[in-house]
Chains A and B, each alone.
Chain A
């Protein structure tokens, strides 16, 4: 009984939905598997209510409330798709598309029906769309929330002329680019930077038509207070903020960040035997998806760096020469056997795993016979 009190029931598109008190209409719909188009909504961020794509009709409520900020109440009756709702969504979207590359978005070759051919980066564009404006060259292609919304609304033509004036791309950050030509001003990056990291490096600046996401003083990202964590990139729904490395992994492996003692959980994205992408794991109590600059961008390159040691080396008269494992291991074993226990010592490592530290201290104590084993914990 007590549990029931915290639950509310409502009806969305004729479907009965039960959710916890405090949920929004959008969350209730998601829980029931009903799609409502959104762009500024992000489950990691506070509700914002900026894009107006999530408008719905609610019986006994005036106007068209937005689902992402309206709390669900008991007995509510919600319609997610009506002519009035669709008209508002269409208008909001068209205004937005007047400032975003849109030719591909409404092209039938982007998402062809059966029998038609799909556009690829090497195809000649039939509509003479500039290469920088094409969906197939955008890093977000096929995982773009704007594409999802267009497909949902079935938009195939635009009534407003497009503003094609280009602004320069900010490529100053070594790990990601900021192409404002693709920005839809949903402010998810701004809110991620502020709510998740608290850095506040970027904000919505200027009004109306000149509105843009900018750093303090409109400087390049590298010259700003940005800490390069990439949380803004992760939360961008389109391809405006995107990693410089645009390849997509073939598979992912969950592991623990090798840098600091926080121990963030992450997925390494692998392609051709290399780590090419890293994302935070959301389902754990340590970092809940978040990563700092070292974890997100500072791993792949050192792991397969050309300066990695790839063979045992033995010092012969001041020169390092390559040796086989058997030669090197025999030499180490033979030479260590010559010393007694107070002449030897072992330095273990706080960068190595528990298992390796365990085995090394066991080796030190049980084989070398010495308790002289320590690591750089104190440093």
Chain B
């Protein structure tokens, strides 16, 4: 997100799902769309079948490769090299949109100079993609406007995730692919309301509407609105919170609806941090692995038992409506927090319900200014929607970028924080399965979904498996510098040699005990996509000398 804010001025998906059919070329990188965002995946597939050129950049074989005109199988963590290599071809062959660059963007020369570092020999060596394919991809993307880029956690979950995002933005600006239907840079959000949680200020450095905590005028605004005094110091990010708890600096933690014991990188560390707390309060619908460590557990309700809104990946605010009564003695999360706040003397927490809370959000959040339940009854609204009369915004940056001019960012290639070596010769990358969701709190409770997959699988290439003497279905131990996890091996050509793949949906095989907490310096996102591991069968370590 930080990457798109720097380049465009807004971190959200630039275009809409309805735009996909307008694209003449689509580049998808770091997203297994048909698994993680199925309906968008179908839309992309349909466009490809109707003639839209489709470029898939992914180290693994994914379903959409079947429809792709070109599959770039780059090594994990080499996205910047691949994208900047494409930019270089576009500049060298004069395929850029010079008018767009001159009129709507800035800092092009510095960016152009940084392309020096990406001659195709270097790019080919780094990414493992033959130079011919890089040239072809560059020509295909630049030659078929409007062209859209889609990416997901495969781009952001790296120690250089912000660079990755800025590289996609550079590529789009270079070819004028911002602002028209069927173009743009489109991050696909993982969980249902990531976009909304960010929009309304569940972030340590910004208030609702991305208004900076450190800005004195903004601080004044919120102090007045909330009748309290506020700290001007940006707070800790989630990973920093766990570090601080581990050190004993954070002593009390309130967790609503999350399960960091499974989702945090180097999850053992997160679990130990939680154990060190003096007070842990967890609000959730199930007794999650995190809730088991709590001092007090408060039973919240699911989406079916309350009113509210979610904001989807294309910035569309949509209603969630109560369909059944709360189960047992559970209560809506907003009610619980309001009660605690009032007991602690907080003002402005005598809440009447979600609709009134949305009115308060609209007052304080310019992009949500025109959003109300009355309007949402008629259908979703895409922000920015600043006034009552505003119809919402399906496409960002049509005339101007949110920040004024599009900002090219010079980049250099930096390798992932962890590389394969003799002790840990394979690269583990994590992702999602169609049949489960996040840490499995919800989907694992559905018997039918467990029929499709009920345990963690370590997807690995048959060649690697042969070297290690592993057969399909064997139980194996996956060991990283941080921990070990047992799971069943699944041999598949979808995983290239040298790479293994796991999800993080299964509490029995907590994959994130393996992953690397190395953070992107700007976005503070951990490197889930590149972890060096070795695989052991029957507890014995096998040297992979033949590799």
Tell yes or no: B199 within 8 A of A by CB: yes
Contact with A along B343-366 (1 / 0, CB 8 A): 111111101001001101100000
Query: Is B343 a contact partner of A329 (Cβ separation < 8 A)?
Result: yes
Which residue of chain A has the shortest Cβ distance to B228 in the bound complex? A366
Tell yes or no: B42 within 8 A of A by CB: yes
User: Which residues of A are found within 8 Å of B237, using beta-carbon distances?
Assistant: 374
Tell yes or no: B537 within 8 A of A by CB: no
Report, as a range, how many residues of chain A touch the other chain.
Answer: 35 or more
Query: Is B193 a contact partner of A354 (Cβ separation < 8 A)?
Result: yes
Pull 17 A–B residue pairs with CB atoms less than 8 Å apart, ordered by A.
Answer: A227-B434, A260-B37, A261-B194, A285-B380, A311-B328, A333-B344, A344-B251, A345-B244, A348-B257, A349-B197, A357-B197, A365-B207, A367-B228, A370-B231, A374-B238, A376-B258, A377-B197
Tell yes or no: B330 within 8 A of A by CB: yes
Number of A-B contacts (CB under 8 A): 461
Contact with B along A279-309 (1 / 0, CB 8 A): 0000111110011111001110111110111
Which residue of chain B has the shortest Cβ distance to A268 in the bound complex? B323
Partner among A258, A314, A329, A336 whose Cβ is within 8 Å of the Cβ of B254: A336
Contact with B along A301-343 (1 / 0, CB 8 A): 1111101111111110000100001001111110111110111
Q: How far is the CA of A200 from the CA of B27 in the complex (A)?
A: 23
Tell yes or no: B213 within 8 A of A by CB: yes
Query: Is B285 a contact partner of A352 (Cβ separation < 8 A)?
Result: no
Tell yes or no: A197 within 8 A of B by CB: yes
Tell yes or no: A38 within 8 A of B by CB: no
On chain B, the number of residues with a Cβ less than 8 Å from chain A's Cβ atoms is: 148
Closest beta carbon of chain A to B444's beta carbon, Å: 8
User: Which residues of A are found within 8 Å of B334, using beta-carbon distances?
Assistant: 353, 355-356, 359
User: Which residues of A are found within 8 Å of B285, using beta-carbon distances?
Assistant: 308-309
Q: Which parts of A125-142 form the interface with B (CB within 8 Å)?
A: none
Tell yes or no: B198 within 8 A of A by CB: yes
User: Which residues of A are found within 8 Å of B448, using beta-carbon distances?
Assistant: 174-175, 297-298, 301
Contact residues of B with A, CB < 8 Å? 1, 16-18, 34, 36-40, 42, 45-46, 49, 67, 156-157, 188-205, 207-208, 213, 222, 226, 228, 230-231, 233-238, 241, 244-245, 249-258, 260, 263-264, 279, 281, 284-287, 291, 294-300, 302-306, 308-314, 316-325, 327-334, 336-341, 343-349, 351, 354, 357-358, 360-361, 379-380, 434-435, 437-438, 442-443, 445-449, 451-452, 523-526, 528
User: Which residues of B are found within 8 Å of A294, using beta-carbon distances?
Assistant: 38, 434-435, 437, 443, 449
User: Which residues of B are found within 8 Å of A257, using beta-carbon distances?
Assistant: 192
Most buried by A among B233, B327, B330: B327
Q: How far is the CA of A195 from the CA of B43 in the complex (A)?
A: 10
Query: Is A262 a contact partner of B295 (Cβ separation < 8 A)?
Result: no
User: Which residues of B are found within 8 Å of A292, using beta-carbon distances?
Assistant: 38-39, 434
User: Which residues of A are found within 8 Å of B318, using beta-carbon distances?
Assistant: 256, 263, 265, 286
Partner among B18, B257, B314, B346 whose Cβ is within 8 Å of the Cβ of A363: B346
Tell yes or no: A70 within 8 A of B by CB: no
Query: Is B241 a contact partner of A347 (Cβ separation < 8 A)?
Result: yes
User: Which residues of B are found within 8 Å of A358, using beta-carbon distances?
Assistant: 200-201, 208, 357, 360-361
Partner among B200, B279, B296 whose Cβ is within 8 Å of the Cβ of A361: B200
Query: Is A320 a contact partner of B310 (Cβ separation < 8 A)?
Result: no
Tell yes or no: A198 within 8 A of B by CB: yes
Query: Is B361 a contact partner of A355 (Cβ separation < 8 A)?
Result: yes
Q: Which parts of A42-68 form the interface with B (CB within 8 Å)?
A: none
Query: Is A256 a contact partner of B319 (Cβ separation < 8 A)?
Result: yes
Q: How far is the CA of A274 from the CA of B325 in the complex (A)?
A: 9
Closest beta carbon of chain A to B236's beta carbon, Å: 5
Query: Is B312 a contact partner of A263 (Cβ separation < 8 A)?
Result: yes
Q: How far is the CA of A128 from the CA of B322 in the complex (A)?
A: 46
User: Which residues of A are found within 8 Å of B191, using beta-carbon distances?
Assistant: 260-261, 350-351, 376-377
Most buried by B among A174, A286, A330: A286
Q: How far is the CA of A368 from the CA of B251 in the complex (A)?
A: 13
Whether A285 contacts B18 in the complex (CB less than 8 A), given A174-B447, A373-B203, comes out as: yes
